[in-house]
A and B are shown apart, each in its own frame.
Chain A
Amino acid sequence: DVKVTQSSRYLVKRTGEKVFLECVQDMDHENMFWYRQDPGLGLRLIYFSYDVKMKEKGDIPEGYSVSREKKERFSLILESASTNQTSMYLCASSFLGLGEQFFGPGTRLTVL
């Protein structure tokens, strides 16, 4: 079974803090993704990566950055957290081109 793990299920941070969300997958997938999930808006893509050290902006990259130093690990960074970044963050991975994505359990981030 594909396993995608995320470093925290729940996280509470203060405005202005730097926040790191970590994601690890164990299936040697080329693609990795970060989404945020908000009620009524579905999943919106923040960033994705199709290879080590490669990254592409998704639909809502503002206020976020990412890092992929190893194939199995994809990090999402909030340089200076703001209250409008309070959300559920989902990591996913997939093989290149096949489309089916496998999701982690999510991190519910609250920024106070």
Chain B
Amino acid sequence: AQSVSQHNHHVILSEAASLELGCNYSYGGTVNLFWYVQYPGQHLQLLLKYFSGDPLVKGIKGFEAEFIKSKFSFNLRKPSVQWSDTAEYFCAVNEDNDMRFGAGTRLTVKP
């Protein structure tokens, strides 16, 4: 089964800074890729997903992610973060109906 690594446990940024959160999975194959976000006190919700096609995927709230097959990576980016982006972010990989989640990255945005 796949394993998912998220390199940063806690990231602290000031408003307007750019964001990149790393995500790698363990081996090649036909995978679907996801980023979920969990705002404080709220349920997990989907930010964006990649199934096929253009490896640059745009999601909600100005987030995007790039799938690089050769690096088994699916990094999340946002050019300018806001205080309201403070949340925990989870990368997930689905292969053959087997979904695996990373440990999560907590993002704190200082106003």
Contact = CB atoms under 8 A, between A and B. Distances in A.
Chain B binds chain A? yes
Interface of A: 31, 33, 35, 40-43, 45, 50, 90, 92, 96-106
Interface of B: 4, 6, 9, 32, 34, 36, 42-46, 49, 51, 90, 92, 94, 97, 99, 101-104
Main secondary structure of the interface of B (DSSP, over half): strand
Contact of A99 (B6, B34, B101): B34
Nearest to A91: B43
Nearest to B101: A43
A97 B97 contact: yes
A42 B43 contact: no
A82 to B, nearest CB: 23
Contacts of A106: 43
A99 B34 CA distance: 9
Contact of A96 (B36, B42, B97): B97
A104 B34 CA distance: 17
Contacts of A31: 97
B99 A99 contact: yes
